[in-house]
Amino acid sequence: MTAATPDADKAPASLQSPARSNWAVFNVAAVLSAMILGLAWAACSDDDSPSDHNDAGRLDAASDVDSSQRGGLGQPCYDDGTCDDGLVCGEANLCITPTDPCQEVDCSGHGTCSVSNDEAVCACEEGYRAEGLTCIPDVPAIGDEGPDGRYLVWNEEFNEDELDMDTWTVGKGLHYLGREAYATGRPENLRVVDGHLEIIAIHEDYEDKHYTTSGITTKNAQYWQYGRFEARMWIPMATGCWPAFWLMPENAIYGPGPPRGNNWPRNGEIDIMEAISQYPQRVWGTIHYVENDEGAHVGGHMDYDPGLDDGYHIYSVVWTESEVIWYFDNEEYARADAGTPRDGILTFHQPFYILLNLALGQPWAESPVASEYPQTMLVDWVRVWQ
Ligand SMILES: [Ca+2]
C-alpha cells in the first residue's frame, strides 16, 4: 500500500532526476564557494570569535540558495516550506507538481477513495472499516458489545490462510450433505481464501456419487447454550443447491428415544438458515423436536425478492430459554417457543454446536443439473454473542 502524500518519488521521472542532479551540482558549487569565502574571511578578519567562524564556514548549502532559485518546479522549497503557485513542497524539499491524493490508493480493493481537505480518504464497503488508506475487515473483539446488548463470546472470521482445525471438523461423507453429493475436505471442495470460507460443490464422480461438496462443524470444540448466532454468507441457488447454517446438540443429554429410537430429533435441531433451489428467494428457519412421540418442527420463512444469491446476507437467530427468533439481514421473520416442555423435556436447554454446509439434491432440494456446476458458498464470518 502506497500512501498518497505528494512526494518527490511521485514526481514524473523526467522532472525528478534532472532536478536532483542539478541540485547536487549546485550544492557542490555552493559548498566550494562558501568554503573559499570562509577561508578568505578568516584570513582577512581581525575578529576571531568562534561565532563568526561558524557563520562563515557553515556548510548549510540550502541557506545559500538565492531565493530566485527557489520555489519553481524541481527547485528547493522556500524556507517556510512553500513553493510557487500550483506547486507543493515534496519530501525531498523540492517543489513538485501536486499529485491526485487518490492516485495509487485502491483501499485494499474493498472501498473507494475520495479527496477530503486535500487528503485521500477511503470509504469502505460493508464489513470493512478504514485504517489509514486501507480497508480492513471490520472484526469485533471478544467481549465487544453487539447491536442487541449481548457480548461477543466467539467468532470465526476466516482471516487466516487455513481453516483452524482445532475448532472445525470437516464433515467427510456425512449423510446430511444430501444424498447426491459426497463431502470431502479436499481444497477443491473446502478452502479459506481472502478472508472467507469457500465451500465448493463440483460435478465429478467420487466414491459412489456424481458430485462432491463439503461442510464443517464445531462439534467437540465449540458449543453454546443460548445466544445470538449469526453468519455472513453468500449462498448459491443453482439447481440442486441446499445450503445450511444450523445447530445440533453437543451431548444429546436426553439420549435416544421415539420416534426412531435415536437421538434425533429428540435432542433437537436449530436450523438458522436453510434454502433450496426450488425457492431461490426464500430463507427458512426451523426447530426440530419430538412431540407426542413423533418428529415435529416449527419455524417460518421469508422471501427476499432479488434472490438469496445476489450477494452477502446475514443470517441469524437469537436463542433464549424461552424462544428462538430468526432474522434475515437483522430483520425478524419468525419465532418459536423453546421454553415449554414437549413430551416432558426441554429439548433446547442444552449446548449446541455449529454446522455450515452446502448440501445437494435429495431429499429436500431438487436433483442438481451438471451444467450448472461448480457452485460456491461463501462464508465471511460466524459470530456468537451472549
Ligand atoms: Ca472474513
The whole-number pLDDT of residue 20 equals 35
- Between the CA of 195 and the centroid of ligand 1 the distance, in Å, is 4
User: Is 366:209 a contact under the CB 8 Å cutoff?
Assistant: no
**Which residue among 131, 204, 269, 291 is the active-site one?**
269
**Together in a domain, 377 and 228:** yes
Q: Which CATH number belongs to the domain containing residue 372 in this structure?
A: 2.60.120.200
The whole-number pLDDT of residue 304 equals 98
**Together in a domain, 68 and 127:** no
**Backbone torsions φ then ψ of 46, nearest 5 degrees:** -85, -25
Mean pLDDT by 10 residues, the chain (386 residues): 36 35 38 39 38 39 68 92 91 88 89 90 88 85 89 95 94 69 94 96 94 95 98 98 96 95 96 98 98 97 98 97 98 98 97 96 94 98 97
- Between the CA of 190 and the centroid of ligand 1 the distance, in Å, is 15
The whole-number pLDDT of residue 289 equals 98
How many other β-carbons are positioned within 10 Å of the β-carbon of residue 171?
A: 22
- Between the CA of 313 and the centroid of ligand 1 the distance, in Å, is 13
In a domain, 1, yes or no: no
Domain of residue 131, residue span: 107-137
In a domain, 17, yes or no: yes
The whole-number pLDDT of residue 65 equals 67
**Together in a domain, 222 and 119:** no
In a domain, 102, yes or no: no
Residue 315, by phi and psi: left (phi above 0), alpha (psi -120 to 50) or beta? beta
> What pairing do the DSSP bridges indicate for beta strands 209-213 and 182-183?
parallel
Domain tally, the chain: 3
Q: Respond yes or no: is residue 91 known to be catalytic.
A: no
**Together in a domain, 124 and 76:** no
Q: Respond yes or no: is residue 274 known to be catalytic.
A: yes
**Which residue among 274, 294, 332, 372 is the active-site one?**
274
Q: Which pLDDT tens digit goes with each residue over 334-383?
A: 999 999 999 999 999 999 999 999 999 988 999 999 999 999 999 999 99
**Together in a domain, 130 and 160:** no
**Together in a domain, 168 and 293:** yes
- Between the CA of 158 and the centroid of ligand 1 the distance, in Å, is 5
**Together in a domain, 80 and 130:** no
Nearest to 378 by CA among 231, 172, 163: 231
- Between the CA of 151 and the centroid of ligand 1 the distance, in Å, is 19
